[in-house]
Every structure is written in structure tokens, then in C-alpha cells.
């Protein structure tokens, strides 16, 4: 009696456990600015070919089908859904949402390299430079944009032009342009946490340009992009995944009971 059934059901439990991790992460980030939900994909494993299709029977005819026993499943990949999230109107001058598929470009202070984010909750550092509004790491927007201390109003156009006026001068002065980057394969980006993505060979090189050009998208000042997690769908996935895990565990129990029955029969 083969114990393969135990290992096959165990692969199902392991795969469902991974999917539960993915669903839990989606639900945990339901209020994370510009978070992009993930999806777990699965594939079947190697098959034990008991009898191949096309074998000859006793009369010399070819059989139309064969006998193949699957050995379980595994996680094929986790794909990120980069669909646009809804917008939340904050009216804060340094909150900027991307209406399109682009990414903000910021500098990682530890490496000096450019990293990418969809989070547009910006702030100013002690030198007046536009940075990500993070209490963990001060990542400066690239190319750098500096706002003077006596600036009264800061306006960010849909094309990314950052302007301000000062006391005694009603005319607006341009401080720079918020540029966006896009990738031929965004799913190939490496998730770093803190809303940061890293470029990889799979994503392709970043193409950095001004908003409103090359299909990179436009900007919306005074708004933030919300997470694209759909709570109802995630709860349905959570329930179905939990049930699938339970079914695989029952298959393990059934296989164990069958083996015990066979072992008991051998005693007589």
C-alpha cells in the first residue's frame, strides 16, 4: 500500500498555507497607501505514469487514454495586481496621487540608488527638500525639489510642475518637476517593504519621464491613492482557502486510516 496519498495531500496543505499568507497580507494592508494586492498561483506536480496513452491492448489496438496519478501541487508564483486604486481627497499640499501606471522616483540613502514607489504622501526635510513622509527613512524625491522656508502656496500641476509663491511676490516660481518612472514589466519589480519597489532584470530598466508623456500618467495634488484590496473578495478567498486546507487535512487523515486498516488486516 503506497503512502503517496499522504504526501500528495500534504502538498495541498502547504500550498493553501502559502495562499493564506498572501490573503492575510492583503487584508493587513487594506489601509496602506497605494498598496497593490497579490495573488497566489498554483501548478500541479509531476505525474506518475502507470500506463501511457497509446499503448497497445491485447488485440493490437492503441488505447485512447492512459493512467496517470498526480503527485500534488505547489505555488507557481505570486503576482501583483497593479490596477489603479481609488482616490482619497486630503487637500494636503504635499499629498500627490498618480493617475496612471507610473512610479515616483526617490533615492535610497543607504545605497544612493533610485527606488520606486506609488505612495505620494510627501513632506519636507530640514533642508526644504521634498521627501517621502516616512518616520523610518528619509528618501529624497529625484530629481530633488527644494521649497524655500518662506513659501506661501505650493502648487503641483497634473504634469508634475511644482511651483510656489513667496511673501511680497504673488508670482509663482517653479521649483522643479515631479518625474515618474514606468517599467515594461511592473510584476518583475522586487517588493522591498515600506511601499518601495526595486528594479530587477525581470522588470526591465526604468524609463523616467514627465507626467502626461509616454502614457506614464498624470498627478493629482491633494489626494492619495488607496489600496486596491477588495475586502469582500479577500474574505471569500480566505474562506475557500481555509476550506481547501481542511479538505486536504481530511485526505491525510483518510489516508492514515486506510494504512492502519491494511496494517490490521495483515495481522490476521
Residues 62-78 pLDDT 10s: 888 888 888 999 999 99
Report the pLDDT averaged over residues 37-51.
91
- State pTM to two decimals: 0.87
Per-residue confidence at 166, pLDDT binned at 50, 70, 90? confident
- Euclidean distance between CA atoms 268 and 259, whole angstroms: 15
The answer to whether residues 130 and 96 touch, using CB atoms and an 8 Å cutoff, is no
Identify the weakest region by mean pLDDT among 13-17, 38-42, 135-139: 135-139
Tens of pLDDT, residue by residue over 197-256, are 999 999 999 999 999 999 899 999 999 999 999 999 999 999 999 999 999 988 888 887
Average pLDDT, rounded, for the chain: 91
- Euclidean distance between CA atoms 122 and 201, whole angstroms: 28
DSSP structure string for 153-211: EEEE-TT-EEEEEETTEEEEEEEEE--EEE-S-GGGSEEEETTEEE--TTT---EEE-T
- 257 CB neighbour count, 10 Å cutoff: 10
Which among 15, 27, 20, 29 has a CA at the least distance from the CA of 191? 29
Amino acid at each position: 500500500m503506497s503512502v503517496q496519498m499522504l504526501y500528495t495531500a500534504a502538498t495541498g496543505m502547504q500550498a493553501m498555507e502559502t495562499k493564506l499568507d498572501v490573503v492575510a497580507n492583503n487584508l493587513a494592508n487594506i489601509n496602506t497607501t497605494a498598496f497593490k494586492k497579490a495573488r497566489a498561483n498554483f501548478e500541479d506536480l509531476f505525474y506518475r505514469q502507470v500506463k501511457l496513452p497509446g499503448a497497445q491492448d491485447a488485440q493490437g489496438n492503441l488505447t485512447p487514454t492512459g493512467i496517470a496519478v498526480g503527485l500534488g501541487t505547489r505555488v507557481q508564483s505570486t503576482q501583483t495586481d497593479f490596477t489603479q486604486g481609488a482616490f482619497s481627497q486630503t487637500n494636503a499640499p504635499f499629498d500627490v496621487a498618480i493617475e496612471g501606471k507610473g512610479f515616483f522616483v526617490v533615492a535610497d540613502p543607504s545605497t544612493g540608488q533610485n527606488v520606486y514607489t506609488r505612495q505620494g504622501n510627501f513632506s519636507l526635510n530640514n533642508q526644504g527638500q521634498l521627501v517621502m513622509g516616512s518616520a523610518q527613512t528619509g528618501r529624497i524625491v529625484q530629481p530633488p525639489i527644494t521649497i524655500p522656508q518662506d513659501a506661501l502656496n505650493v502648487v503641483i500641476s497634473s504634469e508634475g510642475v511644482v511651483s510656489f509663491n513667496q511673501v511680497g511676490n504673488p508670482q509663482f516660481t517653479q521649483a522643479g518637476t515631479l518625474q515618474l518612472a514606468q517599467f515594461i514589466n511592473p510584476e518583475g519589480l522586487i517588493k522591498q517593504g515600506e511601499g518601495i519597489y526595486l528594479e530587477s532584470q525581470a522588470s526591465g530598466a526604468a524609463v523616467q519621464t514627465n507626467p502626461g508623456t509616454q502614457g506614464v500618467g498624470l498627478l493629482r495634488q491633494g489626494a492619495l491613492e488607496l489600496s486596491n484590496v477588495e475586502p469582500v473578495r479577500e474574505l471569500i478567498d480566505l474562506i475557500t482557502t481555509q476550506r481547501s486546507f481542511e479538505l486536504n487535512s481530511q485526505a491525510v487523515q483518510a489516508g492514515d486510516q486506510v494504512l492502519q486498516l491494511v496494517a490490521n488486516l495483515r495481522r490476521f
